[in-house]
Structure 1
């Protein structure tokens, strides 16, 4: 009996190896093995090809990331700290490791690799974000108003949503609602009565979120208060021996809106202060939640001094923890918070077909990193720079973007479809919303199940149908285990769909036997969906 136990222990250790802080670890890639993970914003480059390299220390590619790699052969690599990984011919090279490295070979496929990693390192907390984010569309004021957020136009936007036949949902008031960053009150020159505005939005059936960031505008009243209390990140002035206790100069961070100081959430008093301001906004203006923007690891200099020593990635993770106090939340940058009831939106995409084609691989890869409560970017694109100078948007792109989002865990509008589309195109977008409503009960079942199991809601084909040749499939995804969703993500009206083994029925009622590669015609208002009737 003792001998049998020793043999079992030996094989268990062989399947899961913890490597200590070696300068470099080289892992031989198995025949046919494909790898995913690291940074969501590079998911269109996955499975990784020879030559790909990323050092995750201070670089999460402007979106969700995690110190996790998973393979189609059931292996996963995890560390509590960021590391660098490089694919060189038939090897995966791990270097610049800051913590113990776990290499696990217990699984047989991509799904088992994910589940084994999640169970050990980021088990789902069986808690949900506000389910209104899933059950109804979301509407962000960004593309319509950009930096001119104001009471009149926000109310006009909300009324237009309803007047044009769209259902009310979550409305997100974006950046530049305050006098400056760090001040938590609506600016009086644009909001005559913000509380009344929010109350009106509630009466129309909306819940209201507000954009916030960890930045504080320098040389302001709030900045001076936080500096005096040492609740900001500090600059070491080039002196690597300087301690936080002796620091007196705040770190000034360059970001997309200029230069600001940034909160130091390693300090419990900073968390208390910031939560106090958020709660003030909720209590005073009747807000329902917050869009937590920025917080990217690369906004925290490695040389900065904080109350407690932390990597740039850890600073990013601490920003994420604030969202746990507000069920109606959204994040765009994230580090090592898999399994938590936090909503993850893909980073801003441009108004072009190339970026539309990234939505599926990016969203499904977020699920592989433990971020199951995912939202694609704004329909038609959320990168406002790509809208500048465009007299006319690509109507087909907006329609196909809406269809691509319709059966993802969430769908979010920003550019007003009724403003930029012709009547036929607008009707097609509204039909996509109606399609979502039809599948919403199933989506809500998946959301609740995902909170318990941690499994993705939107899944890659390889995840749901391992070892059937789907590792490179980026134009379709599974909604749970029942529906294959194959939206048009390119110009034209012809789509190639790859069906796994089983009997499938498409959205037009036709049955198809898989495995099969089929060419289908996709009308302007059609979202192809295939229901798995029998494995």
Structure 2
């Protein structure tokens, strides 16, 4: 009892503004393991003793949902964010809204299916299929904040010249004069429409980076403030009604201080969508990378047209993207089942971050975010590239191989620039493998739009109760292909085979359960096809 009271006190002391009203203590069953909550915490799952996470105003920088699921068929849902702690044999939960604890079957898959059907059903639609059928290319790491017409075209032509297939090309941050002005800056894009026409001719669809922030000293800001389409600050009055709010909320984010659109206001949605339509009509832009939107950028002290928690503001930003089949998000709340392309948060150019890709991406599947991209190949956190004379070429190759059989793969650092011929050819081999497997990937994409089943599945999901709940360096692509990328520097790794008959890429048969050692030269990605259990 003392432990439970301590946990409750901890919840309240850390988040006094959350106004938790509901609590529960759940006894963890023998051999029961829990997953869920936040995608970026996938590396920490299954949760162990002492783990704590509060989802109120916090999605850990990626997608999240008020949902936990266990290996024995139980799941937890609340319509609002909750906090939870694992303490010995108990799971303590504190929530704003009622907590639902249900059981369906006795596996993590049966529990997921029941919860998905009831609380986050699939929409029956997919994002633009080009996101899956071809690699994606993002200009971020090559250009950072120096996005410009000349270098973007050089990058696009180099993709084709080096034998990569065209796909979606994303023009990242700083193409506009400032946040809130929707036009290409003339000093860097003398003929933006001509540039996009050329990219289309090369076979690309073009996305541009956008965010919900507005520079607080421009004409757009003055107009939006006058129309009351921005978030307001409550000036310390928690009960201040929207109609009486006067001062705009100024938000600190990674690029400075800005005002922010209020997407609970239909008129704000109309204004913002009209700006994006202008980009489509005037320049030929095909889609949008909708960045930011994290609950942390919607302070609990802000006042919106419709009363909303920080998490609900994030959800509204996600709702907005449903207008665009060609979309990408990094931050998301409670939008499982929606036809939104979700990317894992920026990863550093490190082996440690590479090892988070599989557990984080399979956790996305457990939260209903099936259309997920495993960040940029080699890492998308530009800070980890600063001061480097050269990249770890093995890491770039292994990152490409890890991504190759995930739902999407996205390049940014140009392989032809940073790799020698041996490593470059290894990356091209990974892309060729993806193109070979693409029909199966697309089969899964179409199926998940109807069924909600994960595309990339944790091993425990497909092979329950075989001791695979802690396996974080292998995953299943559907129920047919097991992928075991190299996640460490070296050329040898261990693969765990569940019960059944397996076949490698050369036709060799392996019978499970078994643990095998494999040589993995730099150009080899280990993958195995499941043939069933009929031969056992």
- Tell me whether 1:265 sits opposite 2:243 in the alignment: no
Q: Which residue of 2 aligns with 1:253?
A: 251
Match of 2:463 in 1: 465
- Residue 27 (str. 1) matches residue 30 (str. 2): no
CA distance in 2, matches of 1:107, 1:317: 30
Quote the residue 1:297 is aligned against: 295
Conserved? CA contact 1:370–1:454, under 8 Å: yes
SS of residue matched to 2:232: coil
The answer to whether residue 219 in structure 2 is matched with residue 221 in structure 1 is yes
Aligned to 2:173: 175
Partner of 2:532: 534
The worse-fitting range, judged by mean Cα deviation, of 494-503 and 241-250 is 241-250
Structure 2: distance between partners of 1:22 and 1:264: 27
How much has 1:247 moved relative to structure 2?
A: 1.0
Equivalent residue for 1:103? Answer: 101
* Aligned residues of 1:115 and 1:455 also touching (Cα < 8 A): yes
Measure, in 1, the Cα distance between the counterparts of 2:160 and 2:240: 57
Count how many residue pairs are aligned between Structure 1 and Structure 2.
514
* Partner residue in 2 for 1:511: 509
In structure 2, the partner of 1:114 is: 112
Deviation for aligned residue 1:238: 1.3
Alignment of 1:338-357 (within 5 A): 338-357=336-355
Q: Is the 8 A contact 1:350 1:382 kept in 2?
A: yes
1: CA distance, partners of 2:464 / 2:372: 22
Mapped to 2, the partners of 1:370 and 1:111 lie a distance apart of 12
1:395 paired residue number: 393
Give the C-alpha shift of residue 99 in structure 1: 1.1
SS in 1 for 2:126: coil
Query: SS at the partner of 2:233?
Result: coil
Shift of 1:240: 2.1
CA distance in 2, matches of 1:486, 1:174: 31
CA distance in 2, matches of 1:405, 1:113: 27
Give how far 1:413 is off. Answer: 0.1
Does the 8 Å CA contact 1:140/1:172 hold for their aligned counterparts? yes
Pairing of 1:168-207 with structure 2 (within 5 A): 168-207=166-205
- Provide Cα deviations, 1:302-342, integer angstroms capped at 9, x if missing partner: 11111111000000000001111100000000000000000
Distance 2:120 2:33 in 1: 22
Q: Identify the residue that residue 47 of structure 1 maps to in structure 2.
A: 46
How far the C-alpha of 1:523 sits from its partner, in A, is 1.1
Question: Is 1:148 the counterpart of 2:146 in the alignment?
Answer: yes
Q: Is the 8 A contact 2:26 2:90 kept in 1?
A: yes
Alpha-carbon deviation of 1:237? 1.1
CA contact (8 A) 1:129 1:341 kept: yes
Q: Is the 8 A contact 2:22 2:96 kept in 1?
A: no
Residues 330-341 of structure 1 mapped to structure 2, 5 A cutoff: 330-341=328-339
Aligned partner of 1:128 in structure 2 is 126
List aligned pairs for 1:450-529, cutoff 5 A. 450-529=448-527
In structure 1, C-alpha distance between the alignment counterparts of 2:350 and 2:108, rounded to whole Å: 31
Shift of 1:22: 5.1
1:380 equivalent in structure 2: 378
Supply the distance in 2 between the matched residues of 1:332 and 1:107 (Cα, whole angstroms): 32
Please give the alpha-carbon distance, in whole angstroms, between the structure 2 residues aligned to 1:335 and 1:161: 34
Equivalent positions of 1:410-421 (< 5 A) are 410-421=408-419
Question: How many Å separate the matches in 2 of 1:481 and 1:293?
Answer: 32
Counterpart residue number, 1:18: none
1:308 to 306, 309, 319: 306
Q: Could you tell me the TM-score, scaled by structure 2's length?
A: 0.95
Q: Structure 2 CA distance, aligned partners of 1:200 and 1:270?
A: 33
Q: What is the SS of the residue equivalent to 1:485?
A: strand
In structure 2, the residue matched to 1:77 is 76
| Per-residue deviation, 1:106 | 2.4
The CA distance in 1 between the partners of 2:62 and 2:281, in whole Å, is: 30
Preserved CA contact (<8 Å) 2:21 2:97: no
- The SS at the match of 2:100 is strand
Q: Separation in 2 of the partners of 1:503 and 1:24?
A: 46
Contact preservation (8 Å) 2:336, 2:367: yes
The answer to whether the 8 A contact 1:107-1:116 is kept is no
Unaligned runs of 5+ residues in structure 1 are: 1-20
Q: Is the 8 A contact 1:59 1:298 kept in 2?
A: yes
